[in-house]
């Protein structure tokens, strides 16, 4: 029997302010060929600020999670082994996977289980060339907000750079790229109780507790690394300087939501600290070392809880 040295947790939230210097982690695109456009978000107070999309953070988390899962021998589906962002949906047209079920996907792939997937429904063709297909989906267990720069603590520098044209005749081209620096507010929620489950019906699929723990631990490690070693666009030549990390980790031990509060607010740590209770553990950090210590404790001493709803199933 598997010896339990860890305590169950239902959900974790991260409410952080992270400081990045000289980065271009998320961009809206370019104006054709010679200017990279940063991402911008209008805030409800009427100011416009720099933003980093949650899509890109989630994409890099999934890639790192796949590496951690491979390292511990946790199964991945062929699509996730090939780092195909469609995950299980990439398999559905292959003959061997035509009758794929949600149980099979969740059981056989830790990335699909954690980051979710969507196989769209399809009607049968009238000429009989394609069969009807049932929709299969699971919501992501980990959700990233946009990272929003604090408007008064953000700066942008336009850098003139050169790049080679597509052909010899085009020669060298001038291009403008922005290097942005500032403090960003970011929220992440990880619903660990959904690990190994069909979360539409809240039915347990992965009943091997050690496999659920492996996936949980890998998810937290990838999250820790993503904050301590920034990932995103243009890092090959603009890897950001991480100069600060402060915030709150809220851990909900039993069924319920871990609180989220915007780190755009000056007093976000005080507000969240006041919510500590028997069922909600609040840990604050002011440095990367403190963050690392809290994450190590989470990774080593927790496991995904089973939701109360599970008791309603056979």
Partner 1 sequence: MEMSSLTWLSASYHLPATYSCRVPMSSIASARALPAPGPATVRLALIRTGIEAFGVEYVQSDLFPHIRAMPIHIRPPERVALTSHVLRAYKVEEKTQETNEAPITREVAHAEGLMTIYLQVPASSRDPFSQVLSMIGYWGQASSLAWCTSIESSMPATEECVTPLRLFKSHLPLRPFFSCILSEFRDPNITWNDVMPLIGGRSPNPLHLDVYVWPLIEKAQHGSGKLLVRQAFSAVQE
Binding site for partner 1 (CB under 8 A): 15, 28-29, 39-46, 48, 51, 53-55, 58, 85-86, 90, 93, 116, 121, 134-135, 137, 139-140, 143-146, 148, 185-187, 189, 191, 199-202, 255-257, 259-262, 307-313
Q: Which is nearer to partner 1, 64 or 136 (CB)?
A: 136
CB of 27 to partner 1, least distance (A): 9
Burial category of 281 from C-beta neighbours within 10 Å (exposed 0-12, middle 13-18, buried 19 and up): middle
CB of 41 to partner 1, least distance (A): 5
Q: Which is nearer to partner 1, 15 or 302 (CB)?
A: 15
Q: State the Cα–Cα distance between residues 168 and 161, nearest whole angstrom.
A: 18
CB of 1 to partner 1, least distance (A): 27
Q: What does 198-245 look like in DSSP terms, one character per residue? A: ETTTTEE----HHHHHHHHHHHHHHHHHHHHS---TTHHHHPPEEEEE
Q: Which is nearer to partner 1, 112 or 214 (CB)?
A: 112
Q: State the Cα–Cα distance between residues 191 and 197, nearest whole angstrom.
A: 11
Cα–Cα nearest to 63, from 229, 249, 248, 239? 229
CB of 137 to partner 1, least distance (A): 8
Burial category of 84 from C-beta neighbours within 10 Å (exposed 0-12, middle 13-18, buried 19 and up): middle
CB of 115 to partner 1, least distance (A): 11
Q: Which is nearer to partner 1, 45 or 169 (CB)?
A: 45
For helices 54-71 and 209-228, the axis angle rounded to 10 degrees is: 130
Q: Which is nearer to partner 1, 23 or 191 (CB)?
A: 191
Q: Which is nearer to partner 1, 214 or 227 (CB)?
A: 227
Q: State the Cα–Cα distance between residues 133 and 124, nearest whole angstrom.
A: 7
CB of 261 to partner 1, least distance (A): 5
């Amino acid at each position: 029997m598997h010896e339990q040295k860890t305590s169950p947790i239902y959900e974790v939230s991260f409410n952080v302010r992270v400081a990045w210097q000289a980065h271009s982690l998320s961009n809206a695109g370019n104006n054709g060929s010679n200017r990279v456009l940063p991402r911008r978000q209008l805030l409800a107070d009427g100011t416009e600020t720099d933003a980093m999309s949650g899509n890109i953070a989630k994409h890099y988390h999934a890639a790192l999670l796949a590496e951690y899962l491979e390292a511990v021998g946790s199964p991945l589906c062929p699509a996730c082994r090939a780092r195909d962002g469609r995950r299980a949906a990439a398999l559905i047209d292959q003959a061997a996977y035509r009758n794929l079920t949600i149980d099979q996907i969740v059981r056989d792939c830790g990335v699909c289980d954690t980051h979710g997937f969507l196989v769209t429904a399809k009607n049968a063709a009238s000429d009989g060339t394609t069969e009807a297909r049932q929709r299969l989906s699971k919501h992501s267990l980990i959700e990233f907000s946009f990272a929003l720069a604090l408007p008064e603590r953000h700066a942008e520098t336009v850098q003139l750079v050169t790049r080679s044209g597509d052909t010899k005749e085009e020669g060298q081209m001038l291009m403008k790229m922005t290097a942005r620096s500032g403090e960003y507010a970011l929220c992440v929620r990880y619903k660990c109780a959904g690990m190994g489950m069909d979360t539409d019906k809240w039915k347990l699929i992965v009943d091997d507790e050690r496999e659920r723990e492996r996936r949980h631990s890998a998810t937290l490690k990838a999250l820790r690394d993503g904050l301590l070693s920034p990932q995103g666009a243009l890092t090959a030549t603009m890897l950001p300087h991480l100069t600060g990390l402060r915030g709150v980790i809220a851990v909900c031990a039993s069924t319920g939501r871990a609180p989220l509060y915007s780190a755009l607010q000056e007093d976000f740590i005080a507000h969240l600290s006041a919510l500590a209770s028997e069922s909600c553990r609040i840990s604050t950090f002011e440095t990367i070392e403190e963050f690392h210590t809290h994450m190590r404790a989470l990774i080593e001493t927790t496991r995904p809880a089973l939701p109360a709803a599970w008791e309603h199933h056979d």
